[in-house]
């Protein structure tokens, strides 16, 4: 079956989904089409792996179909095979499918010794995830004991990925108190099993007696785990443990365990998985099927050499604001550095008509690159016909290759009301269109070309010092190349200099990069004085100057030295920019990368845009980095936004290497560009105590039908190893988004404080409740809220549904702190709450305009009055008697006393 999906539907799909996911999936008559499962370059060639992928999806389809009430199944899947595997006649050329937009990635790169299937999901409840991660060993069935069958696991991950639901277990908090009694975190609550003490040594675990209750907390002590019975009657839930034989459904409103402290309850406002699925666009588009679905079909696609054509605007408006020359400066960076060696590159320019400046040329040397650079346009004139440029590019590409999977880099600054006339041409081409909108008047329909083809959309203003155009071209690495081949931007800086002023600074070349390091300097009038020193203090020579294009560059030979490279550039009365790029120093050591993401490509005021930046070295997150987003509006106003990995506000999970923040500082309708700066941090590669990811439960063990408990080896992430400091710098273009419905100034305050999502509660003594949370802001996670409302209830559902009428806590002395600060508050419960009572707590923030946040996640405490240990010298004494004692009742009394003491320890005097 062909891999090209319905382009019209794809356009609608992109407009609906935003850009958290660049997926090509569409839902057609209950069947999911266009699923892309990509095998990464690091996976050794193994044809059996392809069959295992097919088997997993084929077996998962009927399980998904029944679990969703006969609504959904897997219809067709494209398996993307790496370029470094042997070619075969049945391996076809991809169209829009790339490694970058794959829905499932099969890779050996995962945290140390961990084959846990998981889903990248950085958004809110109900928002689709980015990608499912699987390893070859998992697909080979080598981890079935720990994670369960591949097909059932895939359905668990599909629910994360497609419907934005969360796990119903909790690795960090396995038990909770309910009515004073400890309960295992599970869904549904009728899943049966035993609480046992687990002892692990080396690579094996055993059970070691019954769990003992902590007298202070009322919970089971450490090393206690819940081991489920292998055979059950309960049908739910797949998001708890899909490996239980009887589990074939998602939890519904009727059987969902709302009290369990798990991610699904915390992130989805106590809603069950099925309730969230029912609210999805997928569910709204379908009705249950009456017949069984067909088996999935598969297409095998193999990535090939990169084919890219620059389509550059040379119309008369490109004379304004030095745009033509700036385009040539940015194009030079792309041709010198960004595009990978061995790629085929062509060039088309257009005004009212199109001109082929260069047919496809393979870049095998510096001379090949220089030849293309010489073809860049030098004169701007005429009108703007974008469709002419695209048509000429497709025609040029077809002389050597099909347009399937080819890339177009389209730059324009002009309006063109005929652009929609070539939408069908683009849809049918199978090519990927990256768009660069330059200046405030670029065609409003431009982004639709990139949306419908999965391309990158970027915007650059005429504020030269922001270096937006160079950043846009620097971001255009191949979506299929191995990460070691990607050009990585280390620095991007610009400044307006007067009277022989200097631009001084340094850029870090860390140990993960250094190959093909390039320093590129641009200016607007006269050649500046440029000085660069390596980490040893040796001044660098060999700059290549082009006074016509007003650009100079230095290519560092070999592998650049690790450390701080200093620069000083002097000029007068002009604007300078500096860009530094490099590649991975080794094909075996993953470089540190920054991947920016926004949750929508069109933001409608007053809905905020969420900006994310994922920082990784391979599969390992980089923690405690300094991450900043620079967001520039069409008016040229730039807002600096510190992104945080604190698990509050816009950030979903603390310390997962994803840094997030809400953007609310809209000042105009139109395009906004995003640039990410990241500095330093620590790598979690050596720190295994990572936060729980959206993945399947690691199975501690099973209780067989005969009652025997079979334990699995310890989870690979157990243990704590020192994390290591890393020193790096990165800059990355985050693309662009479009704001609509922004009112004229003064812009009214319509942004409430953001929802508090990390409220935690504990109890001290018998009735003193301690609360902690991260402060929201006046406008989402910016500024300072004006006040807090805290309410409590003995019913978690009543508190959620009737927050405004629940019992309010006195917060007169609680003054909100600045957003992202840690808040602490304590209050006393009155004596009306008896021992064993569960108390649920929620909080709402209020801003100066009396706008209220959503109700927070619901925290809980259980009033557990610990039993008092009798002093050693006050132990009651009884006459010593033998078992045949003639003193009536004494022997029975001792037995009863001993039994009560054991119950006292085991049950904590409930």
| Catalytic (active-site) positions | 157
The answer to whether residues 492 and 579 touch, using CB atoms and an 8 Å cutoff, is yes
Q: How far apart are CA 377 and CA 671, in angstroms?
A: 26
User: Tokens 């588009």 identify what position?
Assistant: 285
> In this structure, are strands 724-740 and 602-604 parallel, antiparallel, or unpaired?
parallel
What torsion do the CA atoms of 46, 50, 51, 55 make, to the nearest 10 degrees?
140
Distance between CA atoms of residues 291 and 29, nearest Å: 12
Residue found by looking up tokens 């997962």 in the block: 656
Question: In this structure, what token pair is assigned to residue 863?
Answer: 């009033």
- Distance, CA of 738 to chain centre: 21
The whole-angstrom separation of Cα 562 and Cα 321 is 38
629 and 734 in contact (C-beta within 8 Å)? yes
Q: Which of 492, 368, 468 is nearest to 411 (CA)?
A: 468
Q: In a 10 Å sphere around its CB, with 0-12 CB exposed, 13-18 middle and 19+ buried, how is residue 44 labelled?
A: exposed
Report helix angle 150-163 to 47-67, nearest 10. Answer: 70
Contacts of 278 (CB under 8 A, 6+ apart): none
Exposure b/e, 446-456, CB count within 10 A at least 16 = b: bbbbbbbbbbb
Cβ proximity of 146 and 204 under 8 Å: no
Q: What is the dihedral of CA 610, 611, 617, 622, to 10 degrees?
A: -80
Give the span between the Cα atoms of 552 and 560, in whole angstroms: 19
3-state secondary structure 335-376: HHHHCCCCCEEEEEEECCCEEEEEEEEECCCHHHHHHHHCCC
What does residue 710 show for φ and ψ, rounded to 5 degrees?
-110, 120
What's the DSSP call for residue 20? Answer: S
Q: For residues 789 and 504, what is the distance between their CA atoms, to the nearest angstrom?
A: 50
Structure letter (DSSP) for residue 812: T
Residue (of 109, 49, 59, 108) closest to 79 by Cα position: 49
Cis peptide before 341 (omega within 30 of 0): no
Three-state helix/strand/coil letters over 795-808: CHHHHHHCHHHCEE
Cα–Cα distance measured from residue 96 to residue 75, given in angstroms and rounded to the nearest whole number? 18
Spatial distance between the Cα atoms of 403 and 396, rounded to a whole number of angstroms: 10
With beta carbons less than 8 A apart as the criterion, state whether 892 and 904 touch.
no
Evaluate whether 841 touches 878 at the Cβ level (below 8 Å).
no
Cα(570)–Cα(576) distance, rounded to whole angstroms? Answer: 9
As given in the structure block, the two tokens for residue 244 are 């239980």
Sign of the alpha-carbon dihedral angle for 164, 170, 171, 172:
positive
Residues facing residue 577 across a β-bridge: 494, 522
User: Alpha-carbon Rg of the chain, whole angstroms?
Assistant: 31
Which residues, in sequence order, are CB contacts of 143 under 8 Å at separation 6+? 115, 137
């Amino acid at each position: 079956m062909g891999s090209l999906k319905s382009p019209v539907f794809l356009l609608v799909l992109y407009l609906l989904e935003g850009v958290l996911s660049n997926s090509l999936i569409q839902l057609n008559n209950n069947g999911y089409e266009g699923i892309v499962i990509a095998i990464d370059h690091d996976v050794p060639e193994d044809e059996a792996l392809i069959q295992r992928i097919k088997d997993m999806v084929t077996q998962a389809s009927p399980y998904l179909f029944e679990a969703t009430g006969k609504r959904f199944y897997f219809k067709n899947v494209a398996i993307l095979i790496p370029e470094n595997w042997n070619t075969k006649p049945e391996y076809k050329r991809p169209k829009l499918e790339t490694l970058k937009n794959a829905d499932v990635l099969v890779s050996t790169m995962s945290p140390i010794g961990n084959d846990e299937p998981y889903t990248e999901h950085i958004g809110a409840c109900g928002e689709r995830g980015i990608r499912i991660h699987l390893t070859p060993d998992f697909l080979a069935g080598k981890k079935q004991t720990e994670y369960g069958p591949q097909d059932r696991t895939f359905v668990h991950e599909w629910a994360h990925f497609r419907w934005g639901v969360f796990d119903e277990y909790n690795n960090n908090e396995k038990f909770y108190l309910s009515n004073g009694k400890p309960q295992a975190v599970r869904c549904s609550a009728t899943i049966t099993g035993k609480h046992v003490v687990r002892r692990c040594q080396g690579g094996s675990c055993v059970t070691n007696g019954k769990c003992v209750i902590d007298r202070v907390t009322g919970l089971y002590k450490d090393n206690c785990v819940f081991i489920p019975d292998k055979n059950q009657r309960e049908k739910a839930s797949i998001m708890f443990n899909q490996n239980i034989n009887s589990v074939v459904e998602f939890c519904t409103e009727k059987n969902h365990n709302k009290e369990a402290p798990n991610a699904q309850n915390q992130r989805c406002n106590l809603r069950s998985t099925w309730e969230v699925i029912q609210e999805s666009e997928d569910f709204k588009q379908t009705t249950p099927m009456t017949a069984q679905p067909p088996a999935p079909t598969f297409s095998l696609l193999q990535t090939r050499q990169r084919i890219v054509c620059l389509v550059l605007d040379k119309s008369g408006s490109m004379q304004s604001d030095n745009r033509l020359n700036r385009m040539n400066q940015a194009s030079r960076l792309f041709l010198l550095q960004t595009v990978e060696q061995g790629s085929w590159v062509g060039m088309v320019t257009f005004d009212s008509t199109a001109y082929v400046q260069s047919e496809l040329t393979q870049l095998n040397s510096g001379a090949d690159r220089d030849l293309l650079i010489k073809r860049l346009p030098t004169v701007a004139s005429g009108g703007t016909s974008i469709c002419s440029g695209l048509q000429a590019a497709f025609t040029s590409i077809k002389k050597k290759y099909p347009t399937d999977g080819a890339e177009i880099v389209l730059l324009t600054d002009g309006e063109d009301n005929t652009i929609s006339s070539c939408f069908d041409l683009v849809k049918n081409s199978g090519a990927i269109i990256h768009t660069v909108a330059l200046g405030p008047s670029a065609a409003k329909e431009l982004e639709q070309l990139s949306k419908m083809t999965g391309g990158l959309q970027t915007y650059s203003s005429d504020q030269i010092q922001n270096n937006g155009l160079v950043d846009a071209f620097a971001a255009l690495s191949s979506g299929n190349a191995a990460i070691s081949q990607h050009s990585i931007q280390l620095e991007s800086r610009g400044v307006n200099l007067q009277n022989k002023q200097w631009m001084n600074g340094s850029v870090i070349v860390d140990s993960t990069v250094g190959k093909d390091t390039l320093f590129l300097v641009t200016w607007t009038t006269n050649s500046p004085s440029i000085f660069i020193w390596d980490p040893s203090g040796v001044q660098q020579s060999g700059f290549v100057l082009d006074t016509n294009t007003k650009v100079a560059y230095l290519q560092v030979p070999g592998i650049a030295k690790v450390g701080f490279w200093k620069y000083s550039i002097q000029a007068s009365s002009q604007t300078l920019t500096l860009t530094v790029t490099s590649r991975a120093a080794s094909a075996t050591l993953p470089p540190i990368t920054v991947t920016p993401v926004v949750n929508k490509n069109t933001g409608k005021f007053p809905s905020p845009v969420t900006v994310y930046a994922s920082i990784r070295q391979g599969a390992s997150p980089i923690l405690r980095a300094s991450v900043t987003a620079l967001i520039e509006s069409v008016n040229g106003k730039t807002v600096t936004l510190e992104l945080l990995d604190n698990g509050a506000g816009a950030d979903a999970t603390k310390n997962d290497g994803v840094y997030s923040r809400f953007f609310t500082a809209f000042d105009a309708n139109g395009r906004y560009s995003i640039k990410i700066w990241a500095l330093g941090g620590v790598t979690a590669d050596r720190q295994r105590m990572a936060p729980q990811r959206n993945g399947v439960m690691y199975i501690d063990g099973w209780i067989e039908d005969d009652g025997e408990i079979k334990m699995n080896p310890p989870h690979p992430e157990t243990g704590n190893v020192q994390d290591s400091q890393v020193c790096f710098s990165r800059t990355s273009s985050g693309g662009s988004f479009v704001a609509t419905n922004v009112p004229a100034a003064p812009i009214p305050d319509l942004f409430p404080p953001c929802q508090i999502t990390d409220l935690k509660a504990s109890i001290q003594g018998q009735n003193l409740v301690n609360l902690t949370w991260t402060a929201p802001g006046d406008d989402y996670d910016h500024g300072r809220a004006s006040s807090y409302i805290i309410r409590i209830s003995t019913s978690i559902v009543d508190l959620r549904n009737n927050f405004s009428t629940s019992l309010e806590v006195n917060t007169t002395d609680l003054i909100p702190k600045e957003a992202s600060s840690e808040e602490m508050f304590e209050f006393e419960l009155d004596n009306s709450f008896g021992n064993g009572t569960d108390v649920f707590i929620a909080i709402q923030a209020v801003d100066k305009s009396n706008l209220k946040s959503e109700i927070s996640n619901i925290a809980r405490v259980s009033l557990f009055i610990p039993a008092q240990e009798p002093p050693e010298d006050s132990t009651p004494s009884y006459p010593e008697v033998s078992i045949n004692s003639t003193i009536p009742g004494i022997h029975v009394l001792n037995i009863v006393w001993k039994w009560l003491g054991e119950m006292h320890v085991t049950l904590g005097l409930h």
